[in-house]
Structure 1
Amino acid sequence: MTQRSMRDERRPANDGRRVAARNRAALVLAAREIYAEYGLDAPLCAIARRAGVGQGVLYRHFPDRAAVATAVLEENVRQIEQAAAAPDADLVTVLGVLTWHQTQSSAFISVLHTDGASCPSDTPEYAAALSGRVERALRAHLPDGHRLTAAKDDLMIAVAMVSGAVTGRTREQRERRAWAAWRLLEVEVGPVCPFSDEPCGQPPLV
């Protein structure tokens, strides 16, 4: 067997890994969109259709409903951590990314209330771990003397309060209510957007 033929034989496996990674990313994105529109009880087949894959592909990546929701939550937290780690990051920018995920994910809102009652694994430890990662990402950019430093729990209480205000049938409605809640708390928030190149929402004029 020649060296060239050996390289040719390996290509399908590499392509398969790339396709699998793309399918998984598409499924997580589709799940976030479906959950935002229809809630956590939406059928898994709707997620597969939105992602453009068969339901068998979904089950190869995620064995059950909890695994799908967990993947969405992990991606939410990962993007907030990425935003916090960016060279030009500040609290205003990171809060904008956090708020985008609040307006997109009802499961994420439950986690930010930190009681664990509605997290996919039904364990308070799971919710607390994710909430703790969010808190560390935010606190890394919390300036001394900021109004959210008055007491130890003020930061995450404020986040939970905003989460409770995020309601509405459309993303625009949910964003407007989130901005209003932060404004009432007298906390500045940057553009509401994911940590990516997607267009960002701007605070409405009031």
Structure 2
Amino acid sequence: MTADVRRGNRGPAASAGNRLAILAAARVVFATRGYHAPLSAVAKEAGVSQGVLYRHFPTRLALALAVFDEHWTEYERLAADPDPGAFVRLWSLVIERTINEAAFVEMVVDARRQAADYDGAERMRSLLGPSLARAQAAGLADAALTVDDVMLAQRMVYGIVVTAVDTTALRDQVRRALATARLLPPA
């Protein structure tokens, strides 16, 4: 006689593990297939049903905000660093993530359209402002540079990323564009 080894429905006991699996899967799917990838791909990657996914994250935006929340935590940590070089590290990380994770920017755009209370731009401005001022005072950033200039440059980088036909030269194209705008982080 063989024992029935089917896994039973663990219900609420699996909730925390399912949430973590969904977040990990969404990071992979968003990075490889973009923000608008089918959520069924996220559920499949996580090993859960779509019902479980929607129970944790009722909308694509809710899922994306949870996935990218760790980015904000890291940005906040860097911005709080009193070292004048923190702005360069923060700016470099924002640019690196824009190149590697265009889905993050797509999520921000979607959030502005769907959630009237989304404060991503203001949140980023509040992080960049004091950090930029410290870098400027130390001579690490152009004194004429404004937070709006930095935000515009990030949008420019996103435009380069999403319109690139050949991604092999993408980093060089971004570097050239930022150098032209005098916003290239030091090497």
C-alpha separation in 2, matches of 1:50 and 1:66: 18
Give the structure 2 partner of residue 165 of structure 1.
160
Amino acid at match of 2:67: V
- What pairs up with 1:18-167 in 2 under 5 angstroms? 20-86=15-81, 90-110=86-106, 116=109, 118-119=110-111, 122-123=114-115, 125-126=117-118, 129-142=119-132, 143-144=135-136, 146-147=141-142, 149-151=144-146, 153-167=148-162
C-alpha separation in 2, matches of 1:61 and 1:170: 37
- Offset of 1:61 from its aligned partner? 1.5
| Residue 40 to residue 53, structure 1, CA distance change in 2 (3 Å) | same
Q: TM-score, normalised to structure 1's length? A: 0.63
Task: Give % identity.
Answer: 32
| Residue 70 to residue 94, structure 1, CA distance change in 2 (3 Å) | same
Q: Structure 2: where are the runs of 5+ without partners?
A: 1-12
Aligned length: 170
C-alpha separation in 1, matches of 2:104 and 2:70: 10
Q: Is the 8 A contact 2:86 2:131 kept in 1?
A: yes
| Residue 149 to residue 49, structure 1, CA distance change in 2 (3 Å) | farther
- Offset of 1:47 from its aligned partner? 1.0
Residues 161-199 of structure 1, C-alpha deviations (whole Å, 9 max, x = no match): 222222348986554443333233232437xxxxxxxxx
The answer to which structure has the higher helix fraction is 2
- Offset of 1:22 from its aligned partner? 4.9
Q: Is the 8 A contact 1:33 1:104 kept in 2?
A: no
- Offset of 1:85 from its aligned partner? 3.0
Amino acid at match of 2:125: E
Q: 1:178 aligns with which of 163, 174, 186?
A: 174
Q: Is the 8 A contact 1:111 1:130 kept in 2?
A: no
Amino acid at match of 1:189: P
Residues 10-49 of structure 1, C-alpha deviations (whole Å, 9 max, x = no match): xxxxxx5xx6445434423432332232233311121123
| Residue 33 to residue 123, structure 1, CA distance change in 2 (3 Å) | same
C-alpha separation in 1, matches of 2:148 and 2:131: 16
